[in-house]
A and B are shown apart, each in its own frame.
Chain A
Amino acid sequence: MAGGDSAPAPTPSCPWTKAIPVSESSSTPDMPVIDDATITVAIDAALAAIAAAPDTAALKQVRIEHVGDHSVLTAANRAIKDLPKDQKAAAGKLIGQGKGRVQKELAARQNELAAAEEEAALAAETVDVTLPTDLRSRGATHPLTTLQDRINDFFVGIGWEIAEGPEIESAWLNFDALNADAEHPSRSLQDTLYVAPENSGMLLRTQTSPVQIRAMIERGAPLYIACPGTVYRADEIDATHSPMFHQVEGLAIDKDLTMANLVGTLDAFAAHLFGGQPITRLRPNHFPFTEPSAEMDFRCFNCDARLGVEHDADPNCRVCGGTGWIEMGGCGMVHPSVLRAAGVDPEEYQGFAFGLGIERLLMLRNGVSDMRDMVEGDVRFSQHYGTEI
């Protein structure tokens, strides 16, 4: 406290009276005057300075000037101890109260000015929050992957498991075990891509059904599995065909599964994918691996047809083409020959199977119009979806 140290010692003999005139004789620069008028003037000056301080820096100066070590009030306060005993109390009260008012006003003003200054400082830091923030854009998953995951989740949800197998497959698993006669047209070179040399017995699987056979051979019955995966056909690529596409097949084998269970599963699946009140329709058809066999249609989810079979479809509906129905794929009760080839006793077990194309689902559900968009690998196709479909 340099100021304090250098301050002269107060004069003990200094008289104290109420409204004591400043003594000419005792008036020295070092001797504070403690009288009502002086103190009141000092306090009023302090309060005026506080009120006038424009900012906290000015206020700090005010504090030094008016209540600092060299201020009139501080000096007067210091001088109290030198007053006669009987004056000390009155002088103490006078100065203490005055100084208290000043300190209080200082604090209030400090808060007021600090708040204003902080507000101004924050205002000065305002940014444009609409600026782009994409230092590195988020990537995307392929919508077919997302859709396949969603389909898998449905089957897992109803207690089935997801089975997978290789894309380059044996002809036995892809055809023979599935009751396809050696002469079956689907085995021709026009339909199926084969591994060289001729009669290698290997091919690019044309369906995920060989996974069903593998699962039955490895795990036997009962069995509830969905088999998603990539399959291949000898088709040239165009807007609605691709030599490579994705399928999901379902297979349920148990003691007493019926076609009614097939319908129930398809209904639940359609509801999961398309929502609403699903209506599925089976039409008689023929496949080597099922008997009875059926073609499955879902009621259009897009136009008025979705409201029920008694509602007409929109003739221009992009999804159903005005028929009210969407062809989804084939299904049926697993042929006993297929069960036998896979080591399951058809006298004890029976079940159903179905298969549908995932690209087709995506095309219908999300309005993809060109198959090529899904297979060519253009990032814009995936990026549009992000990680949801």
Chain B
Amino acid sequence: MPRIPLTWLAEHVTLPEGSSALQVATDLARVGLEEESIHGAQVTGPLVVGRVLELVKEPQKNGKTINWVRVDVGPEHNEDADNPKDPQPGTERPSRGIICGAHNFVAGDLVVVSLPGTVLPGDFAIAARKTYGHTSDGMICSGDELDLGPDPTGEDGIIVLGRGHAEGLSAEPGDDAIALLGLADEVVEINVTPDRGYCFSMRGVAREYSHATGAAYTDPVTTVQTPSASGAGIGVQLRDDAPIRGGAGCTRFVALEVHGVDPTAQTPRWMARRLTQAGMRPISLIVDVTNYVMLDLGQPLHAYDAQKVVAPIVVRRARSGEKLTTLDDVTRTLDVEDLLITDSDGGDGARVLGVAGVMGGESTEVSETTTSIVLEAATFQPITVARSARRHRLPSEASKRFERGVDPHLPLVAARRAAELIARFGGGEIDSRVTDEGEVTEPAPVTFPLGDAERVVGIAYTPEQVRGSLEMIGCTVRTGSDDTLEVTPPSWRPDLTIREDLVEEIARLVGYDTIPSVLPTAPGGRGLTVAQRARRSANRALAEAGLTEVASSPFVGEGIFDRLRYSADDARRGAVRLLNPLADDEPLMRTELLQSLLPVARRNLGRGEESVAIFQLGATSLSRGADVRSPIPSAAGRPTDAELEEVLAALPIQTRVLAAVVGGPSGPDSWQGEPAPWGWADVFDLARRVAAAVGSTLEVRRTERAPFHPGRAGELRSTSADGTSAIIGYAGELHPAVVKDFALPARTSALELDLEALIASAPSVVPAVPVSTYPLAKEDFAFVVEESVPASAVEAAIVVGIGDLAEDVHLFDVFTGEQIGEGKKSLAFSVRLRSTEATLTSEQIGAARARCIAAVETAVGGVLRA
């Protein structure tokens, strides 16, 4: 994201004296340019200018020669007298003694001294130290040590004022060298949203700073003179035979030549410094100028070696299989969507020079021998550049700007400005001919009702505020009919196309902080839905039953299906597959919650839990097929019902389920006795509690199903309002192999049910049952039945047999043993009988008993135990 050196910003907009980066960042944030970071001063402390008074060369045993120098660092920093035990060289006078290893200076030179207390880049703190037999009371600095980079003139050694890094600088001993060398410059790095491409330039940010603070702003574009061309320059042809979304890849191409440039010319110090501060590396004068102008105005530029370019230049889409070796030395195969800059070396548009707006190629690159250049400043289509940059993974400074849109009026101005800078610092002559192919599409005017900003924002903006804000951002505003304005956005704001865009500009310029706070009055909702309330109840019921709600990731690997013993044709293998999973070994979405809950159980045990009692409410999905696609209709309006139906029909079957896993001791060891281990009965109980919590009931039937123990699993059924019974889930003890695989406590049990279906099965109104005040009669029965007869069948028979008199039927004992007989069991029930009409007579009770016994015998062959 763009880095804005304050001194550069101040060139286009008036910054108040002593502005801090923090203050500038705060001001910019107000208009929507968020601070990313602040790069503060690199050097702190007494970095001062010093004059070398004496210089004594002292050869050392190690072969080196060091300079023992006496430096005048100004009255404020000089020591008045030498230390008698460790005097400085030459005549004693106010100064400091320093040891220096560099040799590119002589007595009388002005140098940069970091005195003790200075902190150099890299948190390098300077202190006085004894070295080579003398006290070195500071350090004479090189450009590298101050993070200024290598000397621009190639001189090796320390900085001498008037040369190299300090070209053109003069000062007195004791002067602050931090300010002198620009080391105090603060830089604000900002975050630019995709709609504000123009803020990828000092020009744009300065404009926004002026909007935020009212500071005087000068558009740098207005300071560049573009003399009328004497004719067309190098031939350029724009040929786009495959426009993207109906738009041409290049709408304007300006080419301007500069001849006779000194190839050895250096980039001026200030420019190199600014490039560094803005995050770019200085390379050579020509390249640095193109980058500098890009950073300043926002127009990416490219310089070709004019002697290598063979006219005409052709801008066209790539042909299948075409290749280009880019400046980063990588040979890339181009895509037919790539927009190319080509020249006619080897035929019309035959040689690829670069990918438009992304990166240039080697063939026409400027080099250390280049004396003639062609400057390219073009307007490229954002989508074209964005796709190429993404395709080739080449996000460049140029592509960043083109993707967001570059002011189409810039190319000529920017090319001219760059040519002038090159000519100024590198000599040479600007060609009077200019190539300007293509044209600029002016933004369409927007009809803007004067009251629209108030309608959307809720502030009664004055007509002056509305008009003033729009004009301030560069719009041309004309009064239209019926209290409307005809607003033509500026060329650098392609994002302003509808009224709401203009409303945002007015709102942010007047200030978001002026918007009042008014809580709207909704018409009144219906509260939580039945399902939403019921889900809370289910959740709370399990928590109260001692289980802990956990989260789990929905991503699973294929292996989980085998681990859970699903058969090869189990429908639960029909998982939704991700195109770009985060982990290659987990490309699927869970089809059952236990797939992700069992690993969570394992993780908890691995972290020291001794038992597991967890649950989760989560989503599961089943694919509708590997090749099902959801169409993407136009978003210009509401799709038709048929289109919507198609969009939704492809989506996987998604279910909101509840699952729980319990195993190990159900509580801590206790003085009240050993805690019972969680087991199969608990999961059925938990399922019933959940059902009760949502107002429904469950029926359990034995079943066999993975991942459960074949003899200890049940299907959970609910009966809906229309009387149909449906399976809504399963519960039971986990198969011992699964228990072993996940290293769970023995007999760990689990349940999983379709919570939405369970909730839907609950009656919307619970009908009342009269409370009888007649006396209760208690009758106990013990029936001997075959081992295979489910208790629920016996109970059902009792209920049917006794009929309405049965207030409650409860199994209280199961007994097997020799007295009962092989393969049989005795089930003991206590039954509460009561009539709503009268006290039961002993005859009525006897009849009920008889009906009960007969019913059980008929239904399940049960015999009353004597």
Residues of A at under 8 Å CB distance from B?
A: 131-132, 134-142, 144-145, 149, 152, 156, 158-162, 164, 166-173, 176-177, 179, 183, 185, 188-189, 193-202, 204, 217, 222, 224, 230, 234, 236, 243-244, 252, 254, 256-261, 263-265, 267-268, 280-286, 291-295, 333, 335-337, 340-343, 350, 374-380, 382-383, 387
Contacts and interface: CB of A to CB of B under 8 A. Distances in A.
A195 B500 contact: no
Interface in B652-681: 652, 654, 666-668, 670-672, 675
Interface stretch (B168-176, B606-614, B699-707): B606-614
A380 B527 CA distance: 33
A254 to B, nearest CB: 7
A286 B517 contact: no
B538 to A, nearest CB: 11
Contacts of A141: 539-540, 543, 549
A132 B668 contact: yes
The 6 closest A-B pairs by CB, nearest first: A284-B32, A258-B458, A260-B458, A343-B638, A292-B504, A159-B522
A292 B513 contact: no
B544 interface: yes
Contact of A286 (B32, B580, B670): B32
Nearest to B459: A260
Interface in B238-267: none
Interface in B581-637: 581-582, 587, 589, 600, 603-604, 607, 609, 613-617, 619, 621, 626-633, 635-637
Contact of B522 (A132, A224, A378): A224
Nearest to A262: B515
B675 A168 contact: no
B820 to A, nearest CB: 33
Contacts of B668: 132, 134, 137
B32 A285 contact: yes
Please classify how large the interface on chain B is, using the bins under 10, 10 to 19, 20 to 34, 35 or more: 35 or more
Interface in B144-185: none
Contacts of B518: 258, 260-261, 263-264
Given A131-B671, A200-B630, A142 B637 contact: no
Contacts of B629: 199-202
Contacts of A281: 512-513
A135 B673 CA distance: 9
Contacts of B226: none
B819 to A, nearest CB: 34
B644 A217 contact: yes
A236 B457 CA distance: 39
A217 B455 CA distance: 24
Contacts of B613: 139
A226 to B, nearest CB: 10
Contacts of A204: 578, 589
Main secondary structure of the interface of B (DSSP, over half): loop
Contacts of B383: 183
Interface in B792-845: none
A47 B261 CA distance: 139
A375 B194 CA distance: 32
Given A166-B651, A286-B193, A341-B636, 11 more contacts: A145-B549, A172-B639, A173-B647, A194-B580, A259-B456, A283-B29, A285-B34, A286-B195, A292-B457, A382-B550, A387-B543
Given A189-B579, A196-B577, A377-B614, A159 B548 contact: no
B542 interface: yes
Contacts of A268: 519
Contacts of A258: 455-458, 518
Interface of A is mostly: mixed
B519 A265 contact: yes
Contacts, number: 299
Interface in B551-579: 551-555, 576-579
Interface of B: 29-32, 34, 193-196, 383, 386-387, 390, 455-459, 498, 500-501, 503-504, 507-508, 512-513, 515-529, 532, 536, 539-540, 542-555, 576-582, 587, 589, 600, 603-604, 607, 609, 613-617, 619, 621, 626-633, 635-639, 644, 647-648, 650-652, 654, 666-668, 670-672, 675
Contacts of B607: 378, 380
A136 B578 contact: no
A337 B635 contact: yes
Given A160-B525, A201-B631, A258-B456, A286 B544 contact: no
A189 to B, nearest CB: 5
A146 B521 CA distance: 26
A282 B667 CA distance: 51
Nearest to A293: B504
A234 B633 CA distance: 25
B534 to A, nearest CB: 13
Nearest to B588: A196
Given A160-B522, A200-B629, A135 B670 contact: yes
B710 to A, nearest CB: 28
Nearest to B504: A292
Contacts of B635: 172, 176-177, 179, 337, 341
Nearest to A284: B32
Given A138-B543, A140-B548, A283-B29, A224 B650 contact: no
A335 B636 CA distance: 12
A264 B517 contact: yes
A379 B632 contact: no
Contact of B520 (A161, A265, A284, A378): A265
B370 to A, nearest CB: 36
A151 to B, nearest CB: 12
8 contacts: A171-B630, A194-B580, A222-B523, A259-B458, A267-B517, A286-B193, A291-B503, A293-B504
A336 B635 CA distance: 11
B641 to A, nearest CB: 9
A285 B28 CA distance: 12
B578 A193 contact: yes
A139 B459 contact: no
A377 B546 contact: no
A193 B630 contact: no
A282 B515 contact: yes
